[in-house]
Amino acid sequence: MSEHFRVEGGARLVGEVEVVGAKNSVLKLMAAALLAEGTTTITNCPEILDVPLMADVLRSLGCGVDVDGDTVTITTPAELNHHADSASMGKLRASVCVLGPLVGRCKRAVVALPGGDAIGSRPLDMHQSGLRQLGASSSIEHGCVVAEAEDLRGAQIWLDFPSVGATENILMAAVLANGTTVIDNAAREPEIVDLCTMLAQMGAKIEGAGTSTLTVHGVRSLQPTRHRVIGDRIVGATWGFAAAVTRGALTVRGVDPHHLDLVLDKLRMAGAEVATLEDGFRVVMDSRPRAVDFVTLPYPGFATDLQPFAIALAAVADGTSMITENLFESRFRFIEEMVRLGADARTDGHHAVIRGVERLSSAPVWASDIRAGVGLVLAGLCAQGVTEVWDVFHIDRGYPRFVENMARLGATIHRIAAPPER
């Protein structure tokens, strides 16, 4: 039986919270360290479960990895093992990001299919197609992506969709390819920009970071570097929503507020007073939130990872909200749990219509992924009574010191340890 959180309803979150490095950046930066022989140091890393899991993946490839507080040091050998099949591969999605660097450096890779959040079918066709266009063969065999190339050569690649993972893998293979690669319809997420910044520090030649056209001039080799991870905009936004749903007042630091322009605007539409700061923002909500519609899209659209928080907000808002999910079809599984908490919500799988209620009511609920887990905690804070949120290991994968931060800001929340196995 897993651990669970007991969340008391009725708290108003007030205070200041510091956000550290982005989960969806650090894991890719760790993979990028495979591209250069020597010691790469990454700072401002979040102390979350996924970081040691990714460290295990890199160790299985022959790297020395030291995780010390917020600093991860990776020593990459001259000869890498190109077979990534450690048990940790199946526990996180980002493990697939070793594919591009391994193909780039070793010209071959056998990478176990990744795990991660069960938020919908997560195919790798665009990753594979991009590598094929760079001259590698790619197939799925015995649960692994197998890719091999005599030589990688630059190519013009059009992505069907601005996939974050496919952009990262193709980019990390292309930096060591012969000639120039152009990735069109590339993802523009700040985490991709962060990866481009670190790769450039390592000696890669990349133009267009943050735009939908990335041009990569391949180089023969890269050098290790030291890099600070950007602040986690998803965790930052989580606190923004937490202030809005609990009618609280939170100052959030450690994140670039421009990564959250659209999110902060939505919170304003919901009635919050929002101020941007140099290194964060402040959200104050004095009254019941107003209903707001949300549509998830690739960056700079509204992030799909924030959709559960939008639903939590809509559930207690004054009026009816429509939430449209365009990326991951199973994220709306979250709604079943919200209904247990008394939300008036219906979905056809692509859209959800939510009529806000004055007050949710507590119930036992189950987290199906990282963001859904946190969304349930936010909803529990607005519910009458004590809500039990189960399967909180998901939350530990993405939110450092979550319970401690919540409690410090005024929530009554306790982690209840699992009973010892008999």
**Residues 381-420 interacting with ligand UD1 (rule: CB under 6 A):** none
CA 236 from centroid of its chain's CA atoms? 12
| Segment near ligand UD1 (CB under 6 A); pick from 124-132, 260-268, 270-278, 383-391 | 124-132
What is the Cα Rg of the chain in Å? 21
The Cα 106–Cα 238 span in angstroms is 39
Site string for ligand UD1, 159-178 (x = CB under 6 A): --x-xxxx------------
The set of residues, in sequence order, having a beta carbon less than 8 Å from that of 360 and lying 6+ positions away, is 9, 315, 316, 341, 342, 343, 379, 380, 382, 383, 384
Nearer residue to ligand UD1 within complex by CB, 165 or 380: 165
> Is-catalytic flag, 117?
yes
Q: Residue 126 interacts with ligand UD1 (CB under 6 A)?
A: yes
The Cα 373–Cα 253 span in angstroms is 23
**Residues 2-31 interacting with ligand UD1 (rule: CB under 6 A):** 24
The Cα 371–Cα 24 span in angstroms is 13
Binder to ligand UD1 among 4, 105, 127, 266 (CB under 6 A)? 127
Find the shortest distance in angstroms from Cβ 12 to ligand UD1.
Answer: 29
For residue 350, give the 3-state DSSP assignment.
coil
| Segment near ligand UD1 (CB under 6 A); pick from 135-143, 261-269, 301-309, 351-359 | 301-309
Q: Residue 158 interacts with ligand UD1 (CB under 6 A)?
A: no
**Residues 323-382 interacting with ligand UD1 (rule: CB under 6 A):** 327-328
CB 114 within 8 A of CB 144: no
**Exposed / middle / buried, residue 28 (Cβ in 10 Å: 0-12, 13-18, 19+):** buried
Nearer residue to ligand UD1 within complex by CB, 122 or 247: 122
Helix segments in 152-305, DSSP class H:
164-174, 190-201, 233-245, 261-269
CA 418 from centroid of its chain's CA atoms? 26
Find the shortest distance in angstroms from Cβ 290 to ligand UD1.
Answer: 26
Among candidates 252, 317, 266, 264, which has minimal Cα distance to 287?
317
Q: Residue 104 interacts with ligand UD1 (CB under 6 A)?
A: no
Nearer residue to ligand UD1 within complex by CB, 294 or 341: 294
| Segment near ligand UD1 (CB under 6 A); pick from 177-185, 299-307, 354-362, 373-381 | 299-307
Structure token digits, residue 1: 């039986």
Find the shortest distance in angstroms from Cβ 327 to ligand UD1.
Answer: 5
Binder to ligand UD1 among 47, 125, 286, 358 (CB under 6 A)? 125
The torsion region of residue 155 among left (phi > 0), alpha (psi -120 to 50) and beta comes to beta
Q: Residue 305 interacts with ligand UD1 (CB under 6 A)?
A: yes
Which among 70, 117, 305, 369 is annotated as catalytic? 117
Residues that bind ligand UD1 in the complex, under the rule CB under 6 A: 24, 93-94, 121-127, 161, 163-166, 303-305, 327-328
The catalytic site residues sit at 117
